[in-house]
C-alpha cells in the first residue's frame, strides 16, 4: 500500500481528507470517539461536523479489514448469495457488497486476502473446508458488431505497457499531439458519441463545455465506480485494458486543458485498483505521463469507500473532497463548477475507452455504426443466468432479442419469463418487449432504460417476492440519506414487503410510496428505482402478494 499512497494526491499535493480519515481509523482498534473527531478535524483542516458526517456515512470506514465480502448484487442473490451470506456469518466476519462485478460467475465472494471465490469454492469457505483456490471460470468476451471497439483489448490481459502498445494503445494520443485540441473536440462532436454511464449525454458537448469554462485548473475524472448489480464492463476494462483508459483521459485532458486526472475506483474492485496503478506507473516511467511528458499530465487513483451513490458524479466529487457522498443540485454542472469548484469532466470508463478508436477511425466512420441517434457500439453484460454469459459488444440498433438468442437463452434450460435491463434503476422486460433496438432514443420512446447495459436473466420459477425485497433493501442500504422520500420511503417500503406483504393494503401503500420517491427524490437513484419495481408488481404481482 505504501507504494501507492504517494499517488493518491488530489489537490495541491495534499492527500484527500477522506483518505486521511480512512488511514487514521484503520490504525485504531477501538470505536471512534469525540476526541478522534477533533484530532481528524485538525489534521484534514475541515470542521468537526464535516468530519463526523463523513465518518458516519461511508461503510468501509466501519468494517474490519479482515471481513469477507459476499456479493449481494441482483445476479448473486438469484444464485443463492443470501443463504451463502448467512452461512458465512456463523464462522466469519462478513459484509454485504453491492456488487463485486462478477455477475457472469455468481455467486461471488472476496475473502480477507482479496481472493475471489465462486460457487463451490465459496461454499467450501462457508463449510470451513477451503484449502486452496482454483482458477475461476474464464470470462467470455464476444462481438456482434462489424468490429470490436470497446472490447478490442478486453478479452485478454493488456495491462502491461509493451503488450498494450503493440495492440495500438497510445497511437491515437501521439497522433493527437501533432494537432490541436479543437481537432479532438470537433471529431467527437461529429461522431455523435454519447456517455455510456447511463445518461447518454453527448461526450463532445460535455468536453467543449469544460474547455470553454474560464476557471482553472481543470480536472478529468474517470468514473470507475460501476455499481449497478449486473454490470461489469468497467471492471474488466480497468483490469485488462487500463492503458486504454489512460489514453482516453490524456485525450480529454489535451482537449479541455486539464493537468490532473483521477481514476475513482470502487473498493470492491481491488484488482482493478492494482492494475490501474501499475499502468499509471508504467506510463509515467515511459514519459507518457508526468510533469516531464510532452503534455504534462498526472493521474492519481481514488478508492471508493463503499457507497453506491458515489457513482453519481456530484456525489463522487464530494467524496474526493472529503465530504459525505451526497448528490448536489445541478446546475451548475461539473464542467463549469466541479471538483473544488473548478471545471471538471467526469466520464465513465467505457466512454473513455471509446475515444481513441473514434479518433483512429474518424468521426464519419464511427457515426456510420449504430443508429441515427446512438452511434457506435455498446458493451452489454450478461449475467450467469444465461447459457452463454459474459460481455457482448453490439452495434447500436441490434435488438435485445438478437442478443438474448446469441446468449442461448437461460442457463438452466427453462424459458425466460423476463430480463432486467440496466440494473435496479433500469427496466424489467417481458419477451414481447425484446424486439426493441438497443438505442437510447428508441428505448426512451418506449419507457425503457438502457442504463449501463447489464442484462439479468429471470427464468421460470424466479421468486419475485425475494427479488422485490432485495431491491428495496438495496435502496434502503445505499440511499445517501439526503432526500427524505428516498431514504425513509425505501425503509418504509422494505418493512411493508418484509412484514405486511399479505395484508390487502400493502400493494396500494407501495404504489403511493413509489410515487413519492419518484416525485421528491433529488437524483436518478430515487427517481428511477421505483419504476422497475412497479413493473415487477404489474407483471408478477399475483405471485408476489399471494
pLDDT at 271: 95
228-280 confidence digits (pLDDT tens): 778 999 999 999 999 999 999 999 999 999 999 999 999 999 999 999 999 99
- Count other C-beta atoms under 10 Å from residue 501's C-beta: 16
Separation of alpha carbons 432 and 425, rounded Å: 21
Q: Is the pLDDT of residue 352 over 50?
A: yes
24 contacts 43 by C-beta, under 8 angstroms = yes
pLDDT at 482: 86
Average pLDDT over residues 86-106: 89
Q: Is the pLDDT of residue 6 over 50?
A: no
**DSSP bridge pairs for 147:** none
Separation of alpha carbons 318 and 339, rounded Å: 8
| Pairing status of strand 344-348 against strand 377-382 | unpaired
157-178 confidence digits (pLDDT tens): 999 999 999 999 999 999 999 9
**Residue (of 58, 390, 408, 430) closest to 225 by Cα position:** 58
Q: Residue 447 has which C-alpha cell?
A: 419507457
181-202 confidence digits (pLDDT tens): 999 999 999 999 999 987 889 9
Helix, coil or strand: residue 429: strand
Average pLDDT over residues 283-299: 94
Average pLDDT over residues 15-26: 86
- Count other C-beta atoms under 10 Å from residue 193's C-beta: 24
pLDDT at 510: 94
Separation of alpha carbons 402 and 394, rounded Å: 10
What are the structural domains, with CATH classification, of the chain?
2-57 (no CATH), 68-126 (3.40.30.10), 150-367 (3.40.50.11540), 377-459 (3.10.20.600), 464-544 (1.20.1440.230)
pTM value? 0.94
Average pLDDT over residues 189-217: 94
pLDDT at 7: 39
Give one DSSP letter per residue of 295-343, joined into a string. Answer: S-BEEEEEE--S-GGGGSHHHHHHHHTTS--PPPPSSSPTTTS-GGGS-
CA torsion angle 206 208 210 211 (round to 10): 160
Separation of alpha carbons 227 and 60, rounded Å: 15
Angle at 450 between CA 416 and CA 320, to 5 degrees: 125
| Segment (H or E) for 3 | helix 2-5
- Count other C-beta atoms under 10 Å from residue 508's C-beta: 9
Count how many Cα atoms sit within 13 Å of the Cα of residue 494 in the half-sphere of its side chain. Answer: 16
Q: Residue 487 has which C-alpha cell?
A: 431514504
Q: Residue 546 has which C-alpha cell?
A: 399471494
The rounded mean pLDDT for the chain is: 91
Amino acid at each position: 500500500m505504501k507504494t501507492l499512497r504517494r499517488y493518491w494526491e488530489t489537490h495541491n499535493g495534499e492527500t484527500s481528507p477522506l483518505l486521511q480519515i480512512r488511514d487514521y481509523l484503520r490504525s485504531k482498534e477501538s470505536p471512534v470517539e469525540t476526541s478522534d473527531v477533533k484530532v481528524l478535524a485538525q489534521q484534514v483542516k475541515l470542521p468537526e461536523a464535516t468530519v463526523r458526517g463523513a465518518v458516519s456515512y461511508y461503510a468501509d470506514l466501519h468494517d474490519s479489514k479482515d471481513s469477507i465480502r459476499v456479493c449481494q448484487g441482483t445476479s448473486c442473490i438469484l444464485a443463492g448469495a443470501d443463504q451463502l451470506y448467512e452461512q458465512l456469518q456463523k464462522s466469519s466476519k462478513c459484509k454485504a457488497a453491492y456488487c463485486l462485478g462478477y455477475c457472469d460467475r455468481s455467486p461471488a465472494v472476496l475473502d480477507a486476502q482479496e481472493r475471489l471465490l465462486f460457487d463451490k469454492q465459496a461454499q467450501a469457505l462457508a463449510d470451513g473446508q477451503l484449502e486452496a483456490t482454483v482458477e475461476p471460470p474464464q470470462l467470455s468476451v464476444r462481438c456482434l458488431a462489424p468490429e470490436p471497439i470497446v472490447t478490442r483489448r478486453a478479452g485478454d490481459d493488456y495491462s502491461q505497457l509493451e503488450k498494450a502498445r503493440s495492440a495500438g494503445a497510445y497511437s491515437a494520443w501521439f497522433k493527437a499531439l501533432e494537432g490541436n485540441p479543437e481537432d479532438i473536440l470537433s471529431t467527437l462532436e461529429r461522431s455523435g458519441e454519447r456517455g455510456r454511464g447511463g445518461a447518454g449525454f453527448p461526450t463532445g458537448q460535455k468536453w467543449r463545455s469544460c474547455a470553454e469554462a474560464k476557471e482553472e485548473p481543470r480536472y478529468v475524472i474517470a468514473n470507475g465506480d460501476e455499481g449497478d448489480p449486473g454490470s461489469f464492463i468497467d471492471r474488466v476494462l480497468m483490469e485488462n485494458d487500463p492503458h486504454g483508459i489512460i489514453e482516453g483521459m490524456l485525450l480529454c485532458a489535451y482537449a479541455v486543458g486539464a493537468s490532473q486526472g483521477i481514476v475513482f475506483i470502487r473498493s470492491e474492485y481491488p484488482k482493478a485498483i492494482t492494475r490501474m496503478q501499475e499502468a499509471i506507473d508504467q506510463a509515467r516511467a515511459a514519459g507518457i505521463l508526468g510533469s516531464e511528458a510532452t503534455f504534462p499530465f498526472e493521474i492519481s487513483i481514488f478508492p471508493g469507500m463503499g457507497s453506491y451513490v458515489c457513482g453519481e458524479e456530484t456525489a463522487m466529487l464530494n467524496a474526493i473532497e472529503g465530504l459525505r457522498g451526497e448528490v448536489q443540485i445541478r446546475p451548475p454542472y461539473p464542467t463549469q463548477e466541479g471538483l473544488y469548484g473548478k471545471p471538471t469532466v467526469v466520464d465513465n470508463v467505457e466512454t473513455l475507452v471509446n475515444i481513441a478508436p473514434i479518433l483512429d477511425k474518424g468521426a464519419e466512420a464511427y457515426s456510420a455504426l449504430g443508429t441515427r441517434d446512438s452511434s457506435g457500439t455498446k458493451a452489454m453484460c450478461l449475467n450467469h443466468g444465461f447459457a452463454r454469459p459474459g460481455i457482448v459488444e453490439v452495434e447500436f440498433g441490434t435488438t435485445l432479442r438478437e442478443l438474448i438468442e446469441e446468449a442461448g437463452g437461460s442457463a438452466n434450460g427453462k424459458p425466460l419469463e423476463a430480463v432486467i435491463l440496466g440494473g435496479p434503476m433500469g427496466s424489467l422486460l417481458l419477451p414481447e418487449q425484446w424486439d426493441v433496438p438497443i438505442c437510447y432514443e428508441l428505448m426512451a420512446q418506449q419507457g425503457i432504460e438502457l442504463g449501463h447495459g447489464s442484462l439479468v436473466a429471470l427464468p421460470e420459477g424466479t421468486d419475485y417476492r425475494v427479488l422485490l425485497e432485495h431491491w428495496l433493501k438495496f435502496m434502503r442500504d445505499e440511499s445517501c440519506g439526503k432526500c427524505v422520500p428516498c431514504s425513509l420511503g425505501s425503509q418504509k417500503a422494505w418493512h411493508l414487503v418484509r412484514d405486511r406483504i399479505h395484508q390487502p393494503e400493502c400493494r396500494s401503500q407501495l404504489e403511493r410510496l413509489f410515487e413519492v420517491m419518484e416525485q421528491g427524490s433529488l437524483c436518478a437513484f430515487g427517481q428511477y428505482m421505483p419504476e422497475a419495481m412497479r413493473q415487477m408488481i404489474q407483471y408478477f404481482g399475483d405471485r408476489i402478494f399471494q
